[in-house]
Structure 1
Amino acid sequence: MSSNYRNFRNNVPWLILFLEAVFIVLFYFLFSDDSAYRSSISYPAFQDVSHMVIFGFGFFLTFLKRYGFSSTGFNLLIIVLGVQCSMLIEGLLVFLLQRQKEDGLKRITKAAVSMTAVVISTGAVLGKTNPVQLILMTVVEIIVFHMSTWINNIFLQVPDNISMMHVHLFGAYFGLAVSSRFFEPSPRSEKNASTPKSDLFSMLGILFLWVFWPSFNSVLAVDDKRKAIYNTYFALAVSAVTAFMLSVLTTKNGKFRMTHIHSAVLAGGVTVGYAAHSIEYPWIAMILGLLASVITILGSYCLQRCLNPALKIHDTSGVHFTFGLPGVLGGLAQVVLLVIKNWTNLPRVGYLVMIHIGAFCLTISVALITGFITGLILNCKLFKTIPVSKYFEDQFYWEFPHLAVGF
């Protein structure tokens, strides 16, 4: 371990220093005007998204009993690096395409929203990657995600606020593709498990995410932010209630199972993200929340027992059924709602359906292809892939004695 540690110490600081130097230079050239000090988004709205990404996802990923420090610490590291990278990419697109400049607070809010894709992907490879691999994955994924949204905006004419809501789909399937290139841990590994304390911290993250999800779905909405907040809240409420109901019905002893609550209480918020600003009645959002919770819990059984073993994919945090499947359901729901709303104009309905289905297929395809390639690159010998015996261990990176005292 000592030689690997020296390699870790010699690589990570210099990679971070190099990236920060590049970021500072590019910020000097791209953000030298006063647009950064104008604001079309309120600071409380940005603060909600920031709390959600840092606190919510940071604690959400702490369910592994020996990987809590790495889950929260590395989450903060990749977010602060990724937000800078995301703003630079957006600035380069504005410069190269001569697009209208946005105010500073909207830029950083969009960057924080886009980082959700990276954090979701991190959940799929949680405990199996070293910091160098995580940093490189962050930079690559942010670049590719912006390329995907740019294609949706320019060629498919999908509004920017809708294409940004593809973060759940993109993050889930990019992470799954990357995870497929890493070795699977042993099914009997004791480290790939949780404790009551780690589950409690993870539930704290779920509560943060649940509370702030309405802000996440409404912060970039153009038409009616209040409607987006309203619909998201009711979808979340019904998905949470359904999660508790299905948890009791699907366990052998008739008790609540914490993994079901972790997975399904957020499903409603993910599903209505695409159409939250346009749903006319709250009962529609409530139905979507119920269906999202059902597909999440039932999908977790099918994926964990059938699909993942067959494809040899180890999804550490279950991002496929937590974010991927509800995202797919949300895409289908948006198409159905468009058909119902415009059914009297058949040519327009056909065009809208084709555009939105094309955008979802493009997002998933780009995520899978680029994620697979990224996984191959990250497993090169140059990046010192962690041996399977060292998966899910804080001790490899952090100077803490907690493992020795039974933490």
Structure 2
Amino acid sequence: TGRCRLNTSIVPLPANMRTSTSLKVRLPVLIFALQIVMLVLYSLFVTYDDNANAKMQNNETNPMENSMYRDYPYFADVQVMIFVGFGCLLAFYRFYGFSGIVFTFLTAAFSIQWAILIQGFFQFYDNGKIHIGIINLLNAEFACAVVLISYCAVLGKTSPVQLLVMSLLEIPFFAVTEWAVLKYIRINDAGGTILIHLFACYFGLGVTFVLYRPSLNNGHVKEMTSYNSDILCVLGTLFLWVFWPSFNSALTIKGDDQHRAILHTFIGLCSSTMTAFALTAMFNKRGKLTMADIQNVTLAGGVTVGASVDMMISPVAAYALGIMGCTACFFGYKYLTPFMARRLRIQDQCGIHNLHGLTGLISSMAGICAILLATEEIYGPSMYQIFSHRLGRTAKEQALFQFAAIFATIAASAVGGLLTGWVMSLKCMAAPSDEDCFDDELFLDVSESIKLYNKYRNTDISENLLNVRTT
């Protein structure tokens, strides 16, 4: 995956030639400006939906029928994925663990509140107001997941100012694309394969293409992991793995559709995990397991079943999709990511093209096949409930619309990523220099004890201490 490559050819710039990375003024100014805008917009446009509005309740209202009891468990699960799963997963760099977690926290907190507004104007706007409830928060968290996936492509090479700007721009691009695809193209995408994974992937690749750093193409001296950072990263993987069935099933139709979505996701994750362990041992030169593969490739099955997750594809198809997604993801990390960095100027830092792009394309093709094979004999009376978009369309026509949605989403996200990357490349964005990438100390006030620990952890000091004790 390129996580442990070393490059000592980076020559430090003289102090008077470096761009200032101080956050003392620019980050507070940006945050307070955004907060003021939020206050104004929320005061003007945001109100409660019927399930949260006391005026809509009466003596005959059954509080247990409130949508909160139906939607909150899924919201809570996705919350854990966003803040704990992503946070820990992005803490795998040895000297960038604090930043990986803290910048995820900051980016997610802003993205969710911003997405509530932007998505609200397109989906929940009525009589001049955005009516919000738990379902709005859940949709906003999916939009936040899009931003965090894109962030993975530029992990370690961006400032918190750049990340806030990326969130500020990506959420509107995503909301418009989501609205247009669902309203006009009308597709089946229960697990968000097209509108979440593919959009996030190619948006992130567009950003990293613009922010290309030639001197980092062979790695960086601090682009490495440690024992503790790998443990934290695996913990993040486990949180994502456990709660992924909720992610894929949260917005499906309640009942048998949601039931199938949970079953298919779990089966796909299990098969991809088993395949990942087999492949990492098979292709390791010493026949051992590779931590980077376990941290990433094991999750591929959750993406691969997404487009057809609520359909009657059969459990064995979900199992096969998990194997296919894992295999594509594994070889993508091994061969495609280095090729893209060398030949295409795309430094995909966490390999999102493998985990979300390649698997997303496989999942989209599987969804199209499931649509073409769907019959009333298989689905019974629920045929046109599950495939509600097929009203007035044949199976072949719907398949063509699915293809159109894939290309439209990729095109929109890539263009949005390129434009956002250009804005992020402006000098006022406090971007780190090449030599300061992947280092907590640039933007975080790290204690002296941690600085000393980081300074000497690469030496043989522990071995010397051991020798002293034994003698």
In the superposition, the TM-score normalised over structure 2's length comes to 0.81
Give yes or no for the alignment of 1:270 onto 2:296: no
The aligned counterpart of 1:331 is 364
Distance in 1 (alpha carbons) for counterparts of 2:105 and 2:76: 15
Distance in 2 (alpha carbons) for counterparts of 1:366 and 1:136: 18
Alignment of 1:7-406 (within 5 A): 7-35=22-50, 37=52, 39=67, 41-94=70-123, 104-158=133-187, 161=190, 166-182=195-211, 183-184=213-214, 185=216, 187-223=218-254, 224-342=257-375, 348-400=394-446, 401=448, 402-406=450-454
The runs of 4+ residues in structure 1 deviating greater than 3 Å are: 1-7, 33-36, 94-103, 159-165, 342-345
Asked if structure 2 preserves the Cα contact closer than 8 Å seen for 1:264 and 1:296, the reply is yes
Which residue identity lines up with residue 330 of structure 1 in the other structure? S
Distance in 2 (alpha carbons) for counterparts of 1:167 and 1:249: 32
Compute the displacement of 1:98 (Å). 6.9
Unaligned runs of 5+ in 2: 1-14, 53-65, 378-389, 458-471
Which residue identity lines up with residue 140 of structure 1 in the other structure? L
Distance in 2 (alpha carbons) for counterparts of 1:180 and 1:272: 29
Distance in 2 (alpha carbons) for counterparts of 1:325 and 1:206: 19
CA displacement, residues 191-235 of structure 1 (integer Å, 9 cap, x when unaligned): 111112111111110000000000000111115211111110000
Asked if structure 1 preserves the Cα contact closer than 8 Å seen for 2:49 and 2:131, the reply is no
CA separation of 1:75 and 1:187: change in aligned 2, threshold 3 A:
same
Distance in 1 (alpha carbons) for counterparts of 2:51 and 2:96: 38
CA displacement, residues 333-392 of structure 1 (integer Å, 9 cap, x when unaligned): 1111112225999x7122111111111111111111110111111111232332111111
Distance in 2 (alpha carbons) for counterparts of 1:306 and 1:6: 31
Compute the displacement of 1:164 (Å). 7.6
The aligned counterpart of 2:462 is none
Which residue identity lines up with residue 318 of structure 2 in the other structure? A
Asked if structure 2 preserves the Cα contact closer than 8 Å seen for 1:93 and 1:99, the reply is no
Distance in 1 (alpha carbons) for counterparts of 2:174 and 2:339: 29
Please state whether the residue corresponding to 1:205 is helix, strand or coil: helix
Greater mean deviation of Cα atoms: 149-158 or 55-64: 149-158
CA separation of 1:357 and 1:73: change in aligned 2, threshold 3 A:
same
Which residue identity lines up with residue 328 of structure 1 in the other structure? L
Distance in 2 (alpha carbons) for counterparts of 1:6 and 1:189: 19
Asked if structure 2 preserves the Cα contact closer than 8 Å seen for 1:149 and 1:160, the reply is no
Distance in 1 (alpha carbons) for counterparts of 2:127 and 2:364: 30
In the superposition, the TM-score normalised over structure 1's length comes to 0.93
Which residue identity lines up with residue 71 of structure 1 in the other structure? G
Which residue identity lines up with residue 357 of structure 1 in the other structure? F
CA displacement, residues 285-328 of structure 1 (integer Å, 9 cap, x when unaligned): 00000101111111222213323310121111111112211111
Asked if structure 2 preserves the Cα contact closer than 8 Å seen for 1:48 and 1:215, the reply is yes
Q: Aligned-pair RMSD on alpha carbons? A: 2.5
Q: Percent same amino acid at aligned positions? A: 31
Which residue identity lines up with residue 19 of structure 1 in the other structure? L
Greater mean deviation of Cα atoms: 277-286 or 97-106: 97-106
Unaligned runs of 5+ in 1: none
CA separation of 1:34 and 1:276: change in aligned 2, threshold 3 A:
closer
**Bigger Cα Rg:** 2
Greater mean deviation of Cα atoms: 19-28 or 63-72: 19-28
Compute the displacement of 1:95 (Å). 6.6
